[in-house]
Structures are given as C-alpha cells and as structure tokens.
C-alpha cells in the first residue's frame, strides 16, 4: 500500500474508481443474466452437452459427435442449400453467403450480396456450427435453424421470395420432387424443405485440433497455442466465449467498457441497434448474440458490421470494448495462435494453419 488514506485521494479519482468498478460490475451482472438466457439452449443439446461436460473443468468443451442423421435428408438439404431457385431472381442460394469450404461465412466481404446485387445489412456469420447456437442471427430473432430459413427467404435484400413461389419453382423439377418424396414420403412443402436444410446444417460441425487437446491429446496443439489458451482464460475472454461452441449461447452489449460505435466513426444504422430491433427494450440497444469463435480464423472481416479486417484487430477491439483492459502485443499474438486451433481440421489443412 502507498500509505495514502481515502481522504488524501482527490475526489475526482475516487469517483473515477467507483465508476470503473460500477461499469465492471454491470458487465459481470449482464454476463450472468445473458448466460441464464442461454441455459435452455445448452440443456437442449441433451446427450451431446452431457458428453461434453465430462471433460474436466475447462470452460470450453469439445464438440460431441454429430447426431445420427438420415443420409437422404442430409443430401437433400445439401442440394437445397446450394439451390438458387430459393431466390426471387434465381441468383442467390444459402451457399452464396455461407461458403462451407471457406469457413461457412462470406470470407473477405463486409456484408454479403443478395438478389439484384443488393448489399445485406449485416456480416454473414459462419453456418458451420450454427446448430450449437442458442438463437440465430446477430440479434437472436430466430429460435431455430428451421425458423431462420424463412427469415432469409422473405428478406428483400437476401432471397426476396416466398414459400409458395419457391415450392412452385421446385415442383417443376421432377428429379428434386422425387428426392423429396424419397426422403419424406410427400411432395415438397415449407416444413420438409426447411427441415432438410436444417438437417444438412446439423451435419456440418467438425472437430478441431483443440477438440483433440481437450480430449487429452496434449500434443494436438503447440506450446505457444497452449500459452494462448491460458491467456484467453486469464484475461477473462471465457466469460462470453465458452461451452461447446466457444460462444453462441448468450447475448452481450457491444461496447460494455468503451464506446465502440463512437470510436468506429460511421453513423449508427438500424442493424447496429442489435436486439433492440427485436424487443424494443432500451436495455437491448447495441446488444448482440455473442458469436461462436469456432473457425473464426477463416471468417474475416469481423463483428456484425464487418468493420474489423483481421483477427488480431478483432482481439484488440475486444480487449478495449468488452474487457476494458490492455494486453501486450505478444499476449494478443498468442491468443490469435490459440484461436486458429479452433478451425475444423479439414479446413485448417487447406488454409495452411496447421502447426
């Protein structure tokens, strides 16, 4: 201790200290509240979540094996996911904005391009482990993979279509109709088409080197990557990025400990309001679903607005706006090394990220 009494500390400094403590307390309380919101999703994972909980006290859990899925429905869903007839002008499919071979997002694009070459509102999140998100979309407006398809279908910037129009177009394709009948025993419908796409998306999660590490294959990651993981935990990143999906299971305000939007410089847009657009609650202004960090090394640019170009810059922004802390360049480099271990192994090899 310096020997200074409270009376010797200037009032302005005392107020600053109290304000900092209050802001940190709000961050912690908010995190607890949003974790509670995501609990139902964790429980809904059923046996997969129970399996993951058996791996010690680590805040991140390994991906469980994918559920047993009907292969005919998976293949049908794959076809539909890549079918541009879901769009009004025949130009755009789900795969146009979620490129599975490149991390499940639209790598390199701030926002994706939809029908009639229109820019979307938000950065496309990865679809590869969306099955483990407790809600879908940045603002969490959709409760399931099946439901989110309808949101995209009718969005005038994305597919700009309707279910009757899609079913009419697809019903002219005898081969596709036969595939639907083989998988479901009935003609194409909103229910079976959306379910097939969702089943395909549930087939996509793939383990990473870090999953092998969590399952006691300690040589699966390097010493530096292990150091990065320890830094990730000690700095508190796991308050929001934990569990099977390393995120995706709670909401959080962007700019909890700093004004992200003021510093960004660009005017605040509708999509920046986040969950406020869903609930209308002032407390949900600038609140977003915490994204999964699985495959994050492949999905630049980052954040809902796609305004951050590199993984390293995203890490620095999180320290400033979410943690209110300063980390050395070396610590941030190590954390980036760790985050690259979360890439699905088949994609890591093709991207040249393997150690």
CA dist 126 and 294 (Å) reads 9
Q: What is the token pair recorded at 194? A: 């959306």
CA dist 237 and 317 (Å) reads 12
C-alpha closest to that of 47 among 73, 32, 68: 68
Which of 146, 158, 225, 348 is catalytic? The answer is 158
Distance from the Cα of residue 257 to its chain's centroid? 21
The C-alpha angle 258, 263, 265, rounded to 5 degrees, equals 150
Report helix angle 163-170 to 145-154, nearest 10: 90
Across the chain, the runs of DSSP E, i.e. the strands, are: 251-253, 287-289
Largest distance between two CA atoms of the chain: 84
Cis omega (within 30 of 0) on the bond before 95?
no
Query: Is the distance from CB of 199 to CB of 20 less than 8 angstroms?
Result: no
Each as own residue / partner, the long-range contacts of residues 166-170 (CB below 8 Å, 24 or more positions apart, any chain) are 166/85, 166/86, 166/193, 167/193, 169/85, 170/83, 170/85
Query: Is the distance from CB of 161 to CB of 154 less than 8 angstroms?
Result: yes
CA dist 67 and 47 (Å) reads 10
Active site residue 158: yes
Query: Is the distance from CB of 136 to CB of 145 less than 8 angstroms?
Result: yes
C-alpha closest to that of 301 among 154, 19, 36, 103: 103
Q: Which residues are catalytic?
A: 158
């Amino acid at each position: 201790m310096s020997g200074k009494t409270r009376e010797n500390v200037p009032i302005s400094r005392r107020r600053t200290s109290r304000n900092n403590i209050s802001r940190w307390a709000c961050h912690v309380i908010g995190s607890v509240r949003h974790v509670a919101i995501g609990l139902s999703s964790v429980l809904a994972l059923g046996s997969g979540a129970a399996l993951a909980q058996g791996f010690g006290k680590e805040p991140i859990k390994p991906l469980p094996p994918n559920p047993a899925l009907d292969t005919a429905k998976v293949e049908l869903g794959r076809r539909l996911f890549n079918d541009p007839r879901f769009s009004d002008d025949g130009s755009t499919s789900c795969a146009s904005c979620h490129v599975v071979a490149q991390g499940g997002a639209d790598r390199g694009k701030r926002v994706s391009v939809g029908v009639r070459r229109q820019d979307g509102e938000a950065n496309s999140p990865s679809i590869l482990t969306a099955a483990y998100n407790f809600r879908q979309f940045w603002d969490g407006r959709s409760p399931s993979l099946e439901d989110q398809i309808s949101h995209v279908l009718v969005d005038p910037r994305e597919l700009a279509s309707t279910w009757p129009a899609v079913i009419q177009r697809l019903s002219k394709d005898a081969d596709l109709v036969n595939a639907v009948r083989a998988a479901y025993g009935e003609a194409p419908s909103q229910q079976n088409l959306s379910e097939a796409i969702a089943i395909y998306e549930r087939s996509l999660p793939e383990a990473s080197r870090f999953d092998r590490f969590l399952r006691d294959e300690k040589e699966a990651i390097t010493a530096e990557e292990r150091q990065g993981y320890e830094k990730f935990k000690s700095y508190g990143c796991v308050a929001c990025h934990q569990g099977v999906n390393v995120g995706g299971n709670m909401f959080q305000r962007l700019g909890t400990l700093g004004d992200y939007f003021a510093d960004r410089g660009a005017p605040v847009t509708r999509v920046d309001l986040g969950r406020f657009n869903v609930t209308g609650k002032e407390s949900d202004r600038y609140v977003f679903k915490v994204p999964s960090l699985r495959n994050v090394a492949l999905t630049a640019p980052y954040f809902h607005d796609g305004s951050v170009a590199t993984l390293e810059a995203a890490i620095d922004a999180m320290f400033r706006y979410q943690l209110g802390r300063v980390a050395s360049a070396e610590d941030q480099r190590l954390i980036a090394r760790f985050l690259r271990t979360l890439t699905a192994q088949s994609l890591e090899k093709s991207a040249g990220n393997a150690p």
